[in-house]
Amino acid sequence: MPSLSLSSGRDLFLTPGPSIMPDRVLNAMHQPAPNIYEGEMIGMTDSILADLAELAGTKGKAALYICNGHGVWEAAISNLLAPGDKALFLNSGSFGGSWAGIGQRMGVDVEEIDFGRTGPVDTEAVQIRLDADKDHRIKAVMTVHTDTASSVCNDIAGLRRVLDQTGHPALLVVDTIASFGCDRYEMDAWGVDVTVTACQKGLMTPPGLGYLLFNDKARECSEQVPFPSPYWDWRPRVEPDVFYQRFCGTAPTHLLFAQRAALDMIAEEGREVVWLRHAELARAVWAAVEAWGRGGPLRCNIDDPAYRSHAVTTVRAKGCDMARMRRWCEDQAGLTLGLGLGFDLPEYMDGKSVFRIGHMGHLNPPMLLGALATMDTAFKALGVAHGSGAVESAAESLSRAGSPAVR
């Protein structure tokens, strides 16, 4: 008898990036190469950068790079820090530490505070460290808004308060790659000097575009860096004499078409509504995980909902092989989930007892509830201990999401 798989149909990817690409975004790329010297490409690029600044809540400048998130990390360091400059990196999962590693390789005097895998950055600990920096050697505080490894969402406004209360002049530099377009983010209101982001998560575009948004203070600091990388230097990108300087070469034409379409979709839905939708979908996921946890080991990695991301949820299941569950979902049902990242310790079965549910970007209740039901089915098929009523709990959560009354 042939082996049976139920995965025939449209695959569903709920990884924490790249996120689901809307058909409208994919279709926008399905056209011939445009004129890259003049015409609509110039205006379209300007509109993308303006809309990104509006989405971030900033009146600052925006620079565009052809790269992934790691590339735009390097761009931030290259523009702000010279070899030997000191920077404080705050790690609350995995990516703050990875960013610190890049800084170290670039000659930055890196100091890292690791807050572990299951909670946010402790602003009181940061305040103590900044108070001790009497000579103000720390030139930048670098952190991640949402760390997709732990699924924590850090208090960025709280970090600005700490900097202000200590009178410390360091720049506040924030990676929003996972949170941008998902979690509420107010760059200027929260006192962020540099925002780092990329296109492949909440911005719903195939990977390949990175962005830096920065204010006047950051720009003044960058003027003190003697030899910024010719490629990463943001100055010609924000004030180009000719169009190609926006990209230090040929424009990424079809990614720009895609990004324009994605930003149009976000504008049509509305920034506040996008944030609210992500919040409601996240609460539905948490409700399902909590229901599973009443009869088994499954738990949201971040205990306090106030510090949980609205873009991704990391789930721990002590003693259970969740890699096997993910494989069942993908092979038998066409659902791809995120693997455990940054939990490579024996107590987490070298990461196998952890998985991640991405709920960012182009997602609605039928997609999410179907995915949760598929995970529930996998637990049953594999004999993973779990509580009942997870899908019902998620549905109940969504029913309270303020939908208009049925007419």
- Whether 346 and 259 map to the same domain: the answer is no
Domain that residue 334 falls in: 12-16+271-399
- Whether 195 and 105 map to the same domain: the answer is yes
237 within a domain of the structure (yes/no): yes
Given this model, what pLDDT does residue 228 score?
85
Given this model, what pLDDT does residue 69 score?
98
Given this model, what pLDDT does residue 405 score?
40
Given this model, what pLDDT does residue 200 score?
98
6 within a domain of the structure (yes/no): no
Given this model, what pLDDT does residue 359 score?
98
Given this model, what pLDDT does residue 407 score?
28
- Whether 331 and 201 map to the same domain: the answer is no
Closest to 226 (Cα-Cα) out of 111, 99, 85, 102: 85
Provide the 3-class DSSP secondary structure of residue 143: strand
Rounded average pLDDT per 10-residue block, the chain, 407 residues: 85 96 98 95 98 98 98 98 98 98 98 98 98 98 98 98 98 98 98 98 98 98 93 97 97 98 98 98 98 98 98 98 98 98 94 98 98 98 98 98 52
Domain boundary among 207, 238, 267: 267
- Whether 60 and 140 map to the same domain: the answer is yes
- Give one DSSP letter per residue of 154-221, joined into a string: --HHHHHHHHHHHT---EEEEE-TTTTTTS---TTTTT-SEEEEESSSTT---S-EEEEEE-HHHHHH
- Whether 198 and 282 map to the same domain: the answer is no
Domain boundary among 227, 246, 267: 267
- Whether 146 and 295 map to the same domain: the answer is no
Could you tell me the CATH number of the domain that includes residue 338? 3.90.1150.10
**CA angle at residue 223 from 221 to 105, to 5 degrees?**
75
pTM: 0.97
